[in-house]
Chains A and B, each alone.
Chain A
Amino acid sequence: MTAVTTAGRRTSTAPQTAGRGARSRISYIPTLILAMGALYCVLPVVWILIASTKTNGELFSTPPFEPSFHGGFVTNMKALFSFENGIFARWALNSVIYAVGGALLSTLVCGCAGYALGRYRFRGSVWLFRSVVAAVLLPQIMLAIPQFLLLAKLNMTNNYASVILPQLVSPFAIYLCKIYAEASVSDEVFEAARVDGASEWRIFVSIGSRLMMPALVTVFLLQFIGIWNNFLLPFVMLNKDRLYPLTEGLYGLLVITGGQAAQYSIVIAGVLVSIIPLAVLFLTLQRYWRVDLLSGSVKA
């Protein structure tokens, strides 16, 4: 939580307060609305943080927003990380493997494709780009079950690749990279490099890839979150719990413990552990994340 607030101050002080001047008075209504929105978004997380400090007994008997300091937090964490020989840590590791590995590979694949479509005209390039745009309409999540059916037929389910490979191509990411390569990378730089005798490959590796960085970072983050959040695909592809990502694992935990309130504190601890690292990572990376690219407005 501390990371969240400090990061917030850092971003807020720079551009906004400067122009406002000290003499201007505060607009109360917008400030109040924002405060209410912030509470709505943060309170559930605060509540889970508080709930994680309680033992199972306290969970049902103490006031909801009153933390407990009787060692409940440590007990819950121990119970979580020792559950079934520490399988929770394994799930966390799996999530990282799926999300980081998948997002890196996906950024590479989509970045290359976007660059090729954005910088070159060749036979079929227009047609290919049109299919990319059409494919954006295809709901990927609804393909999860067909993807499973095909991979199951080929005996290729139940491994890391079965979760990562289907998520590598994102038509939207290709589209975004194409638009960026086309609009934000100036032709002059390329012409100059060509005049100097650089090969196309060389230009791509040393100039193109660097100029594409803002788009690539955005695609990476998008894909990272997409894969981290994906539930249905691993849900259908995997049936060994050692391969589960966090989302699957926690869901499994809830299903196992669903009937018994005695286990809630483990699930609550698990929920907390899966929120905090990602939230911190995300909020610190927010600066690099070009949301404007998503709405299709590319400004060089």
Chain B
Amino acid sequence: MRSIGDRSGPPDAALAVAGAGPVSEGPARRGASGVGGVGGVGRTGSAGKAKGLGRRHRTKLPHVLLTPAVILFLLFTVAPAGYALFLSFQKTKVGGGLFGDQNPTAVFAGLQNYSATVHDSEFWHSILRMLMVAVVGVPATIIFSTVFALCLDAKRARLTGIARLAIFLPYAVPGVVASLLWGFIYLPATSPIGGAHFDYFGSKAVFFSVANVAVWGVVGFNMVVIYTSLRGLPRELYEAAELDGARELQIALRVKLPLLAPTLTLVTVFSLVGALQLFNEPSTLKPIANAISSTWVPLMRVYTDAFVDNDIYKGAATSFVLIVMTVAATVIARGILGALSRRSER
């Protein structure tokens, strides 16, 4: 993914895009349970095709091919998650020694770390701030990338080749570098857009400023995803409308837009998941923006817990709360948006 806030993994970029997996997997699984699919997105039937192949040709090849991935997955995903879970139930016990500060040992803490996180108003504030950036950034990303994609697809529009590359360009700029770039654009001393007269890091403006950096980075990528899916639509559908004398705008809004529903669902889920992982932009802007604290968004909070306050146990607990919240949010967003796009298809 690259979506609001997160451009890593794969992350960053891959991360943002990662949303595609579950969504496109949707139809196959839902189809099986007879509920009906999101439609369009990933109609590739995953069952069936490979069936029987391996049975006749007994071979160890698939196991060999899968081994590196499985080992790496266990070592770098399962084990760290398990270890973090283990740590999250511990705390440091300072004790022993003449001054009571020797041999700090880890002892079982039960749910203490979790309760500290959940009862900390600053944690909820960091989530609210993240949501405020998302409220600005996610709709802006979706609307702009859809409008650009529809314009690219419009008949007789010019400059499409250059515009496509130009709008895609920021995707090649790492989030940190984009934030530095915009940081200088916002900074009163260097601002080319009137930063001397308007405080881009003011208590309210800062949400727009951060969201803008994220939108700038991802709008082109989302535009290309939407445009690709527009090109994949059967032309006959709107050729008929054209013959009937429908205007370009009407075709875009009444014919193309509804057909894009599954793709827009997908892009929205990317962006929402990306927003939850907001870290690069606010962290990079922090040294030049007083409005951004060291716990401004949840991931910065985890970092601060673990590295600034040196409380890895608390950091692990906060990490875990966030992981659970992200997975839950993704599942819920998929459900709601999937249902909406199914309804709009009817």
What residues make up the interface of A, taking CB atoms closer than 8 Å to B? 4-5, 7-13, 16, 20, 24-27, 30-31, 33-35, 37-42, 44-45, 47-48, 51, 59-60, 64-65, 108-110, 112-113, 115-122, 125, 128-129, 133, 135-143, 145-150, 153, 165-176, 179, 182-183, 187, 190, 194, 200-201, 204, 222-223, 225-233, 235-236, 246-247, 250-251, 254-255, 258, 261, 264, 267-268, 271, 274-275, 278-279, 281-283, 286, 291-292, 294-299
Contact = CB atoms under 8 A, between A and B. Distances in A.
B139 interface: no
Contacts of A294: 17, 20, 225
| Interface residue SS majority, chain B | helix
Interface string B302-315: 11001100001001
Contact of B61 (A204, A226, A297): A204
A182 B49 contact: yes
A190 B54 CA distance: 12
Given A125-B62, A275-B173, A291-B224, A142 B69 contact: no
A197 to B, nearest CB: 12
A225 B150 CA distance: 26
A286 B152 CA distance: 17
Contact of A183 (B44, B185, B299): B44
B10 interface: yes
B228 A27 contact: no
Interface string B140-178: 000010011011101111111111111111111111110
A274 B175 CA distance: 12
Contact of A296 (B20, B165, B173, B189): B20
Given A190-B53, A274-B174, 12 more contacts: A20-B156, A34-B167, A38-B167, A118-B50, A143-B323, A146-B319, A182-B44, A230-B11, A232-B280, A251-B283, A251-B284, A298-B42
Contact of A135 (B40, B57, B73, B225): B73
Nearest to B217: A229
A55 to B, nearest CB: 13
Contact of B299 (A141, A147, A194): A141
Contacts of A120: 50, 53-54, 59, 61-62
B50 A41 contact: no
B11 A236 contact: no
B157 A27 contact: yes
19 contacts: A16-B160, A31-B151, A41-B168, A113-B66, A119-B50, A119-B54, A128-B66, A149-B87, A183-B44, A225-B13, A226-B12, A229-B13, A229-B280, A230-B12, A231-B279, A235-B303, A286-B168, A292-B232, A297-B229
> Of residues A33, A37, A228, which shows the largest number of chain B Cβ atoms within 10 Å of its Cβ?
A37
Interface in B291-308: 299, 302-303, 306-307
